[in-house]
Structure formats: structure tokens, C-alpha cells
Amino acid sequence: MEINLRPIGFVRGGRTEQINDDWDTITARIDLDTDWLTSEAILGLDGFSHAEVIFQFHRTDPKTLVTTARHPRNNENWPLTGIFAQRGQFRPNRLGMTTCQVLGIDGVSVLVRGLDAIDGTPVLDIKPYMIDFAPRGEVRQPDWARALMSNYWKK
């Protein structure tokens, strides 16, 4: 089975190159594809402090995709870990998802901070972040993941 998706819009501004750290300082906007969407699609989104943005790592060469275990960020000090236990760009469908701050709405654009997607990235969906969809119960993660993320948002 194959699934075809149409971008709802594109990231504009922010970074032009994928850099791993200090994403919380980056502001960008998501411009809706007005060939099929209007400002009504984002009406009320500015009532939420954050949104979950699903996007495609469009610059990741499909020949470099990983379906097995690897060392996160190729750091051999970290354990071999399956691609679905990581959040990197080399995943089979090249999908990324980030919860970022909604700064506002401007016509058919959503202004955001902390979206770790580069200029030109196709956006597949935007969902408001709701506390009631946050994890229930204790959240845990391995030490290597905490080390990997230590500068990801802020240096």
C-alpha cells in the first residue's frame, strides 16, 4: 500500500540548513498552500500556545534512509538504537514532528518559534497542542537521549 500526501503549506524563513542545535531561537512561518486552503483552516489556532507540526525531511536523500539500528548522530559513545527509537531525519518515510510555540496568525500564515524544520520544508499537518493529549503517567528516556538533546533547543 502506498499513501500519497499533499503538503498543506511550507516553512518560510528560519534556517536554510539543517543544524542540530539551538532551535528555540529560530522563528519562521508556515504559509498555507492557498491553491486548496484558506485562512479559515487556521482560524483559532492562535488561541493555543503551541502546535504540533508534522513535516517531511525533503532534503534527505532516500538512498540514505535507515531501517535498522544505528548510533544516534553517529556517536559511537551512544548505543546502537533502532531508527524508531530516534527522531532523526533518516527514517523510512522522512517524517518529522515538532511541538513549537505559536506566535500568531498573519492571514494564511502561522508564525512559530522552535520549529526544527528549514526554509522550504513541506508541512503535512498542524495540530494544536492540547494538555489532554500529553503523555499520561511517568515519562522516561535513556541517558543518551538527554545528552543528545542537551543543546537542541537552547545552547
pLDDT at 151: 87
Q: Which domain holds residue 16?
A: 9-132+141-148
The CATH number linked to 62 is: 2.40.30.70
pLDDT score for 38? 98
Domain-located, residue 2:
no
Q: Report how many domains make up the chain.
A: 1
The pLDDT of residue 80 is: 96
What pLDDT score does 154 carry? 84
- The reported pLDDT for the residue numbered 55 is 98
Is the residue at 118 inside a domain? yes
pLDDT tens for the 155 residues of the chain, in order: 999 999 999 999 999 988 878 899 999 999 999 999 999 999 999 999 999 999 999 999 999 999 999 999 899 999 999 999 999 899 999 999 999 999 999 999 999 999 999 999 999 999 999 999 999 999 999 999 999 988 888 87
Q: What share of the chain is helix, strand, coil (3-state, %, to 5)?
A: 20, 30, 55
Euclidean distance between CA atoms 15 and 126, whole angstroms: 20
Q: What is the pLDDT of residue 53?
A: 98
In a domain, 14, yes or no: yes
CA–CA gap between residue 81 and residue 125 (Å, rounded)? 27
pLDDT the model gives residue 21: 81
In a domain, 70, yes or no: yes
C-alpha closest to that of 68 among 90, 96, 94: 90
Question: What's the CA gap between 84 and 70, in Å, rounded?
Answer: 11
Domain-embedded: residue 154: no
63, part of any domain:
yes
Q: Is residue 116 part of a domain?
A: yes
Structural domain contains residue 153: no
**pTM of the shown model:** 0.93
pLDDT of res. 20 = 79
